[in-house]
Structure 1
Amino acid sequence: MSLDSSSLSQKSRPPSQLPDRRELGYQPFEYWKGPKRILPPRAQPITKPSSTGTVTRIEEIRLPNRSGYTSTAPQHKLAVVHTYPIEKVRPDPSLHPALATTNMGWEQPHNVHGGQAGPTSFQVRDANGRVEFVTEPSYDNQELPPRANNMSRYVGVQPWYKRKRVWLISAIVLIVAIIVAVVAGVLVSKANRYPDYAKLNYSLQDTYSGETFFDQFDYFTGYDPAQGFVHYVPKEQALQLNLTHATTESAVMRVDTSVGPGSSPDASTGRFSVRVSSKKQYNSGLFIFDVKHTPFGCGTWPALWLVDETEWPKSGEIDVMEAVNKADNGNQMTLHTSDGCDMSVKRKMTGEVLHKDCFNETNSNAGCGVQGNEASFGASYNAAGGGIMAMEWRNEGIRMWQFGRSSIPADITAKKPDPSSWGIAAADFPNTGCSMDSHFRNQSIIANIDLCGQFTNAVYAESGCPSNCSDFVANNPQAFKDAFWEFGAFDVYKAS
């Protein structure tokens, strides 16, 4: 009979009419291992049929039974080679999910009944009672995933503990990234913080000027608290020695130049000088100081500053103008405080930063200083006629400006000062890292001329001054002819 793919199709014939595979000499094979060959004796010749699809006789067929393969067909000497369309059975997906997608040699086009077209053909040889597969079946996708005792139920799915570890690592990485971003944001935000120095309206509160200038000050008497080589004299002695005097235009403070080596008493224990403190104290405000002349010369340490003399450093110190020796480095503007006031923050100023920590116990009580230009103090400043030193003290911070005589803002002259219109300050001490309210209070205005002392002695030699400071001060009275302050008026404004 003629065997073709259509005659063997289960969709075109009832199952009862299908030929028994055992009758066709089909050798069963295992899906996992492929077909098992049964080789004939090598001496037997192989004869090709003249046509395909015709069964003449099968000499021997090995049929499967429960005990294995047995020979049940009669034997014949005729060797016949035929081509049979052997039906292939689709793999059972229940064995493994991956088998559901294995083609196993079935052709892709579908037949008219909706199924696939059917299996391809291959040859078998019948000789001397044994059956051999001459050509191997063709498998489109014959590779299957290897079996393993611990294979997951689903291919490609990780065990739960591995998935949990991946999620844990991902969560940790995410948390670390968030922390880094937050910290970086905080640091950037802190670095960019700056107080809002919004415009304030100021009204005049106090004026120190004219012939009564010194009437509003107390004279400090005795040795210098900063170990200076001076005797601060009381008001009566200062007037007698002409160390202080005032006119309608100016108020002058100076160092004594009358006592020399042959004088009795001499200046071997210190030279006479003056230190005055305002009777009134302040907790904020805008201070306008008209300074016409600044003291300078080897051994000098003049300053214009604000402090609570009974509560230092707890109540703070604000140095508006300060220099030592020849003052050729310019004006120094500094804050001295108790612990917790730092200027390592954003600042807007033209001066040069000297130190950032204002705490009096750091850097030998240098404070957080800002250096002005060379013409902001001393001989150059005096030759230009002096100028205006302005200091604004408010909750947002402390700022200082210095204006030459020829560049004083019109609003200052008109006594309607507006710091918001003055541009960048010479020194800026914002409240970003220092609370103004907690570090500065009850401040008196102080002006003095110290000699030698802590600051001057520290830089005396490098300033190009002769001998040592105390010997030079005691024996050279004429060296201090330029060691005097000359003030115009001090105006103090209060924010309204």
Structure 2
Amino acid sequence: MDGTKLPPEYLNRYSSATSRIPGLQLTEIPKTPIAPAVPVSSKQDESPAPRPAWYNPRGWSLRRRLIVAIGILTAIVVIVVGTVEGVRANRYPDYSPLNYKLVDSYEGASFFDRFNYFSDQDPTDGTVVHIRYVNEDAALDLNLTYATDTSAILRVDSVTPKAIGGRNSVRIESWSTYDNGLFIFDIIHTPYGCGTWPALWLTDGYNWPDNGEIDVLETTNEGSHGNDVTLHTTEGCKMNVKRKHTGYPVFSNCDNTTHSNAGCMITGTPSTYGRLMNENGGGIYALEIRDAGIRVWFFPRDSIPGDINSPDPSTWGIAFADFPSTECDIPSHFKNQSIIANIDLCGELAAQPQFYTERDHCPGTCAEFVANNPSSFEDAYWEFASFKVYQAM
């Protein structure tokens, strides 16, 4: 029973019970000796309790518990941050196939009909005359531009013996402008030679750099190192992200205020420009501008895709240059783009000693060479089979 007290009536009920219990007769108890109780040694009580295992937190000091807790929290943070950064580093835009339709074609004898001849002062301080670049009338008179049914030529003056005021050259800009599209440039010959700075590019010359610049082909002097594909933008366009390309990245920040306006560049092999490209019959450069990014492919003459006239870039494999939109909003950085082809002379790039002297081993100074060596510019010409522009429908 538990310790609950019984009511008085129950106590009264059992109060006389002892009178009915038989008396105990001591003589009836057997006389067996009772063994004395053996006292338990007190030493057994004093033996130490077993220590908890080293991995049992119950046996840890407060200091150890704090250290372990901090270590666990740090590991969790590292795992979470690593997972987030891993996901971030693997971001890549969706280049799903687009249905492209032809919207503009520049080819044949009418190739130059929808181009403006830029004849203002050269914005890059180049060595040319007639306000740096010649106008359309002068270009036609001097035979610096002409077109046939099969190709169009744009060249540097290679006749004048003493071009003291600068050597004549040409820069053309398309009347049509583009925010996006797929551009197929069929190129038969690329210009090269000491003192030259040729380019095939897109920009909005009246709103540079706000509307961006895309250099599809650009090099200087002999161009023997290969083609440079480059983007130039305002701040907020970077390429230090996952990319898929066969070229060699040089800079990842496209902001024109960094690296002396070098832009974010992808460089190709020597066969992607100049003498080697020309000897191989030229080829096709394809430029794609879309929200997902900007990509450029180069196809040598003997490797042009069979669908080039009904183009589907998703079948073309890895691009020569890839500029994904991961850290660059393409529509806001590139718009109102004109197609431009030109051959600058010296300028602020080709005349730099690191290129003119050290890399391409050109003689004397750039200005003196350009003025006094007309025959050196016989290979300084573009020859285009066609430009075709497609847009997604």
- Decide: shared fold, TM above 0.5: yes
Residue 205 of structure 1 corresponds to 103
Deviation at 1:169?
5.8
Tell me, yes or no, if structure 1 residue 460 matches structure 2 residue 356: yes
Aligned with 1:194 (options 86, 89, 92): 92
Alignment of 1:426 onto 2:324: no
- State the partner residue of 2:388: 491
Counting matched residue pairs gives 352
Decide which of 160, 171, 183 is 1:275's aligned counterpart.
171
Q: What displacement does 1:343 show?
A: 1.1
Q: Does 1:409 align with 2:305?
A: yes
Cα drift, residue 87 of structure 1: 2.6
Larger Cα-atom Rg: 1
**Does residue 399 of structure 1 match 2:295?**
yes
2-side partners of 1:372 and 1:287: how far apart?
Answer: 19
CA separation in 2, counterparts of 1:443 and 1:157? Answer: 72
SS in 2 for 1:281: strand
In the alignment, which of 255, 261, 267 is matched to residue 371 of structure 1?
Answer: 267
C-alpha spacing 1:145/1:405, structure 2 compared with 1 (3 Å): closer
The verdict on how the C-alpha distance between 1:182 and 1:157 changes in structure 2, with shifts beyond 3 A counting, is closer
- Secondary structure in 1 matching 2:168: strand
Cα gap change, 1:438 to 1:167, in 2 (>3 Å): farther
TM-aligned CA deviation for residue 199 of structure 1: 1.0
- The alignment's TM-score, normalised by the length of structure 1, stands at 0.67
Q: Give the corresponding residue for 2:139.
A: 238
CA 1:271 to 1:199, structure 2 compared with 1: closer, same or farther past 3 Å?
same
Q: Measure how far apart 1:85 and its partner are.
A: 5.5
Letter in 2 for 1:240: D
- Structure 2 distance, partners of 1:145, 1:354, is 71
Q: TM-score, normalised by structure 2?
A: 0.84
CA distance in 2, matches of 1:199, 1:398: 14
Q: Which runs of 5+ in 1 are unaligned?
A: 1-13, 18-52, 55-83, 90-103, 106-138, 147-155, 262-266
In structure 1, C-alpha distance between the alignment counterparts of 2:43 and 2:84, rounded to whole Å: 63
- Name the structure 2 match of 1:258: 159
**2:372 aligns with one of 450, 453, 475:** 475
Aligned partner of residue 229 in structure 2, secondary structure:
strand
Cα distance between partner residues in 2 of 1:348 and 1:317: 21
1:131 equivalent in structure 2: none
Q: Does 1:317 align with 2:267?
A: no
| Alpha-carbon distance between aligned partners in 1 of 2:363 and 2:58, rounded to the nearest angstrom | 89
One-letter code of the match for 1:275?
A: R
2:84 alignment partner, SS class: helix
Q: Deviations over 1:369-408 (max 9, x none)?
A: 1111111111111111111110111111111111111111
Query: Could you tell which deviates more after superposition, 187-196 or 445-454?
Result: 187-196
How far is the alpha carbon of 1:192 from its aligned partner? 1.2
- In the superposition, relative to structure 1, how do residues 346 and 140 fare at CA in structure 2: closer, same or farther (>3 Å)? same
1:245 is paired with a residue whose SS is: strand
Distance (Å, rounded) in 1 between the aligned partners of 2:351 and 2:36 = 115
Q: Report matched runs for 1:98-177 at 5 Å.
A: 104-105=40-41, 141-144=44-47, 172-177=70-75
1:303 partnered with 2:199? yes
Instruction: Give how far 1:142 is off.
Output: 4.7
Question: What amino acid does structure 2 have at the position aligned with 1:396?
Answer: A
Confirm whether residue 221 of structure 1 aligns to residue 104 of structure 2.
no
Q: Which has the higher contact order (CA 8 A, sep 6+)?
A: 2
Structure 2: state its 5+ residue gaps: 1-23, 50-56
Which residue does the alignment assign to 2:245? 349
In structure 2, the residue matched to 1:362 is 258
Instruction: Tell me which of 441, 449, 457 is aligned to 2:335.
Output: 441
- Residue 143 of structure 1: how far off its partner (Å): 2.2
Letter of the 2:245 partner, please give it.
Answer: M
Q: Aligned partners of 1:269, 1:461: CA distance in 2, in Å?
A: 23
Name the SS of the counterpart of 2:311 in structure 1.
coil
**Distance in 2 of aligned mates of 1:395 and 1:172:** 45
Task: Describe the SS at the equivalent of 2:376.
Answer: helix
- Give me the CA root mean square deviation: 2.6
TM-fit CA distance, 1:171: 5.2
